[in-house]
Amino acid sequence: MRVTLHQDKCVASGQCVLAAQDVFDQRDEDGVAVLLDDNPPAEAHDDVRHAAAVCPALAITLAES
Ligand code: SF4
């Protein structure tokens, strides 16, 4: 799985961090999401899919492999 985070779309809601805290974080200064791991391990995939699904800005896209 490859994860892409579109920071230009992010509205800093923090939903992705709640869903998958090993893969997403938020910048201290403005809350915009930061991608920690663009190729997360298999055990994190369900959480990452959940993060992408709940992101209100559709800022997370996934390429399944
Ligand atoms: S859930 Fe989406 S909008 Fe919210 S912080 Fe994460 S990437 Fe940004």
Distance CA 22, CA 18 (A): 10
pLDDT (mean) for 22-33? 98
pLDDT band of residue 1 (cuts 50, 70, 90) is: very high
If you average pLDDT over residues 30-50, what whole number do you get? 98
When pLDDT is averaged across residues 7-36 and rounded to a whole number, the result is: 98
**Mean pLDDT, residues 20-49 taken together:** 98
pLDDT at residue 65 in the model: 77
> Phi and psi of 42, rounded to 5°?
-55, -35
pTM for this predicted structure: 0.96
- Count helices and strands in the chain by DSSP H and E runs: 2, 4
* Ligand 1 atom 4: residue of nearest CA: 13
Site to substitute for ligand 1 among 5, 7, 11, most atoms within 8 A of C-beta: 11
Rounded average pLDDT over 41-64: 98
- The residues pairing with 25 across neighbouring beta strands, listed in sequence order, are 34
Q: Which residue's CA lies nearest to atom 2 of ligand 1?
A: 55
- Please give the distance, rounded to the nearest whole angstrom, from the Cα atom of residue 65 to the centre of ligand 1: 23
Tell me the sheet residues that pair with 5. Answer: 60
Contact 23/6 with Cβ under 8 angstroms?
no
